Amino acid sequence: MASSTRVVIVAVAFTVVATFYSLSELHRMSAMHADAETTKFATHTGDNNRILRAGGQTSAISSTSAGTGQVGSAASVGTTAATTSTSTAVATATTTTTTAATTATATTTTTGGSSGDHKCYTYEHTELWGDVVVWGTLNKKKTAGECCDACLNYQPTGADEPGCNVWVYCGDEVKCGSQHQQCWLKHLVHPEASKPARTGPQTPWTSGTIDVDINADPGTDAKKASGAPRMFHTVTSAQGAAVHWQVRIHYYWWKKRKEECQKQGNCEMGGFTRLLHSGQSDDLMDELPTVVVDPLPQSMVEHSWYVVLNRPYAFVQWTQRVKIPEPYVLMSEPDHIYLRPMPNFMKGNAPAAFPFFYIEPSKAENVHITKKFTGEITQKQLEEIAPIGNSPTFMTFEDMKKVMPTWMNVSIAVFKDQEANSVWGWVQEMYGFTIALWINGIKHVDLFLNMQAQPPWDQEMHMANGKPFYILHYTYGMDYKLSGEFTPGKFGEWRFDKRTYGSRPPPRHLGEPPKNMKNDLVRALINSINEASAALPCWDQYAETGKAVYDCDEIKTLTDPRFKKDGKGIA
C-alpha cells in the first residue's frame, strides 16, 4: 500500500474516532441537561496529590453532605443544587414592584455590624436552589429583611463547613399557608451560575443572595467609572474541516454586529483574529484576519484523537507573538453566532465568562481529581474555581500572558491522567483552563448566564428576567417532529446538527424548522446560517467541494460592502 494512502486512511480513522467520541460526549451532556434538576450536591474528602504548583495548602476537606430541603409551595422536598444551572425557570421580579418578568431588578441592602460590610440582593416571586444549612421549618422570621440578616450572621459549625449565601423566605400568609414566615438559609456554589428553581407571579417565595447580583448587567460599573469604551479584541481558535464553514458564518455575523455597534456609538468591539492552529495557511487567509500557529507537537503528548488539546498551545503562541491595541480579549469559538453587538462584560479587571453547568470542580465526585492539579486545598478554595471554559470568556491580555502557559500544562497533565481524561472527557481542557486561572491567583470570575444561549435547551432570545442573550452557541443537536414537538435524544423528522456537516459545508437555503416549533433560537440559528451563506460569495461551489473560491459568476454582481470585487474580505 502506498504511504500516502496509509496516511489518508489513518487520518480518516482518527477523524471517525474523534467524531464518535464527540457525539458520545454530546449525548452524555444532553442527558445531564435533562437530569440536572434532580441532581444532588455533596462534598467529601478524597485522595490527593500535588502537581503543577510549588507548595500547596494542607488543610483537608470536611464532609459537608447534609440533609437538604428544596423549598416548594407545598411540603418541603429534597434539594437540587449547584448543578441545576439549566433549570428552565429564571428569577424575574423585584422587591419593590410586582411587574412582568422582563422588568426584573434586584433590591440591594448593605449590612454592617457583626456580619461585616456585605450586600444582600433580593428577588421577589423567586425561589432559588441551594443546600440547606438552616431549615425554614425551625427558623421563622417576621420579614424578608430579618431572613437576610439571619443569612448574613450565620456562623458555620466548622471551619470548612458551608456558610449561607442564599436565603428563601415566604411572606405571603395566604399563598404560603403553613410555610408562612419560614426562612430557609442555604449554600449555593456560584448563585449567579444557576437559574432559579421557580419564578413568576405565582411563586410566593422571596429569595436573596449575598454579595452577588444574579441579574447584574455586564460591565455597567466599569463603564460608569471610566466613562469610555473598554475595547476588546475577539480571538476565535479554529482547525479542521468541521469548523471551516462555521468560522465563515461566525465572522460574517461578527462583522455585521460590529457595524451595528459602531452606528450605535460607544462601541467596545475592537479587532478580530482567527487563531488557526493547524500550522499551515489555508484558503480563508484573505477573507478572515488570521494568525497561523503550530499544533501541539505529538512528541509532547500523542493526542491525534483529541485535537482540542492544540487550543491551549495555540493561545500560548498567540500571546507571545502578537501585540494588540485593545487591553481586553474575548475568546470565542467558530460555532458562536452573535445575536447583537457585544459589550465588554468585565466589571473591572476580573474575567467575565459564561458558566457551564457540567464544569463542576468542587462537586463530590470531582474533588479528588481536581486536587491532583491544584494540590491539597479546602472546600472553600475548590468553590473559588469557576464553572467555565476558555470560551466565551473575557479577560485582560496581560492576564492571558500569565495564564495560557499554565492552561497548556494543566491540560496536558489532565489528558495524561487516565482518571481525569476518562471522567472529564471531551471538556477536559475546559477544566484545565479554569484550574489554570485559580493556580495563577485569579479567584474571582464574574459569571453571566445571558452571555450565551444554547438551543434547543434555551428557547427565547431573552432570559425570563429580561436579559438578552448575546451569543448563540449551536453545540447540541436539534430534533423536532413536523408538528413542532421537541424530541430530545431522538432523531427528529426535522433536525439540525452541525456534525452533519463535518466534512462539507451546509448548502444554501437550509429548510425552515416546523411552523409550530416554539423555539425562537433554533429558528434564529437557521435564519442566521441562511443569511450568511446567501451573502458569502460562491457558497454553492463551496458546499460542493469544501474549498472557498472567489471566481464564480456571482462575484460580478456582488453588492456586500464587506467584500472586494474579487470576493475576498475587507479586514
Per-residue pLDDT tens over the stretch 488-526 = 989 999 999 999 999 999 999 999 999 999 999 999 999
Q: For residues 119 and 112, what is the distance between their CA atoms, to the nearest angstrom?
A: 9
Confidence at residue 245, expressed as pLDDT on a 0 to 100 scale: 97
Please report, for residues 276, 322, 376, the alpha-carbon distance to residue 401 in angstroms, rounded to integers and kept in the order given: 18, 11, 26
Maximum C-alpha span of the chain: 83
pLDDT at residue 64 greater than cutoff 60: no
**Mean pLDDT, rounded, for 559-568:** 62
Q: For residues 147 and 179, what is the distance between their CA atoms, to the nearest angstrom?
A: 14
The more confident residue out of 66 and 373 is 373
Per-residue pLDDT tens over the stretch 351-374 = 999 999 999 999 999 999 999 999
Classify 120-210 by CATH class.
alpha beta
The more confident residue out of 331 and 72 is 331
For the chain, the structural domain boundaries read: 120-210
**Mean pLDDT, rounded, for 397-406:** 98
The more confident residue out of 347 and 247 is 247
Peptide bond into 392 cis (omega under 30): yes
pLDDT at residue 222 greater than cutoff 80: no
Q: Look-up: residue for cell 480579549? A: 329
Confidence at residue 565, expressed as pLDDT on a 0 to 100 scale: 57
**Mean pLDDT, rounded, for 477-481:** 97
Residues 6+ apart with CB under 8 A from 19: 499, 502
**Mean pLDDT, rounded, for 106-112:** 57
Our measurement of the distance from residue 465's CA atom to the centroid of its chain's CA atoms, rounded to an integer in Å, reads 18
Confidence at residue 227, expressed as pLDDT on a 0 to 100 scale: 75
pLDDT at residue 426 greater than cutoff 80: yes
Please choose, from the candidates 167, 242, 270, the residue with its C-alpha nearest in 3D space to the C-alpha of residue 210. Answer: 167
Mean pLDDT, rounded, of the chain: 82
**Percent of the chain's residues with pLDDT above 70:** 76
pLDDT at residue 100 greater than cutoff 60: no
**Mean pLDDT, rounded, for 421-449:** 97
By the 8 A CB rule, do 186 and 133 touch? yes
pLDDT at residue 135 greater than cutoff 80: yes
Confidence at residue 7, expressed as pLDDT on a 0 to 100 scale: 38
The three three-digit cell numbers of residue 133, written as one number = 444549612
pLDDT band at residue 568, thresholds of 50, 70 and 90? low
pLDDT at residue 51 greater than cutoff 70: no
SS3 408: helix
How many other β-carbons are positioned within 10 Å of the β-carbon of residue 183?
Answer: 27
pLDDT at residue 243 greater than cutoff 90: yes
Question: Worst-scoring range by mean pLDDT, 64-78, 150-164, 387-401, 519-533?
Answer: 64-78
Strands (E), 104-182: 107-111, 118-123, 126-127, 131-134, 166-170
**Mean pLDDT, rounded, for 103-117:** 53
Confidence at residue 116, expressed as pLDDT on a 0 to 100 scale: 60
Q: For residues 252 and 529, what is the distance between their CA atoms, to the nearest angstrom?
A: 10
pLDDT band at residue 220, thresholds of 50, 70 and 90? low
Confidence at residue 108, expressed as pLDDT on a 0 to 100 scale: 63
Please choose, from the candidates 39, 178, 27, 167, the residue with its C-alpha nearest in 3D space to the C-alpha of residue 95. Answer: 167
pLDDT at residue 427 greater than cutoff 90: yes
**Mean pLDDT, rounded, for 50-54:** 31
Q: Which of 15-19, 31-35, 302-306 has the largest mean confidence?
A: 302-306
pLDDT band at residue 564, thresholds of 50, 70 and 90? low
pLDDT band at residue 32, thresholds of 50, 70 and 90? low
pLDDT at residue 36 greater than cutoff 50: no
pLDDT band at residue 75, thresholds of 50, 70 and 90? very low
**Mean pLDDT, rounded, for 295-304:** 91
The three three-digit cell numbers of residue 124, written as one number = 421577589
The three three-digit cell numbers of residue 368, written as one number = 479528588
Q: For residues 208 and 168, what is the distance between their CA atoms, to the nearest angstrom?
A: 7
pLDDT at residue 69 greater than cutoff 80: no
Name the pairing type of β-strands 183-187 and 118-123: unpaired
Please choose, from the candidates 183, 111, 112, the residue with its C-alpha nearest in 3D space to the C-alpha of residue 144. Answer: 183
By the 8 A CB rule, do 36 and 356 touch? no
Per-residue pLDDT tens over the stretch 302-331 = 988 889 999 999 999 999 999 999 999 999
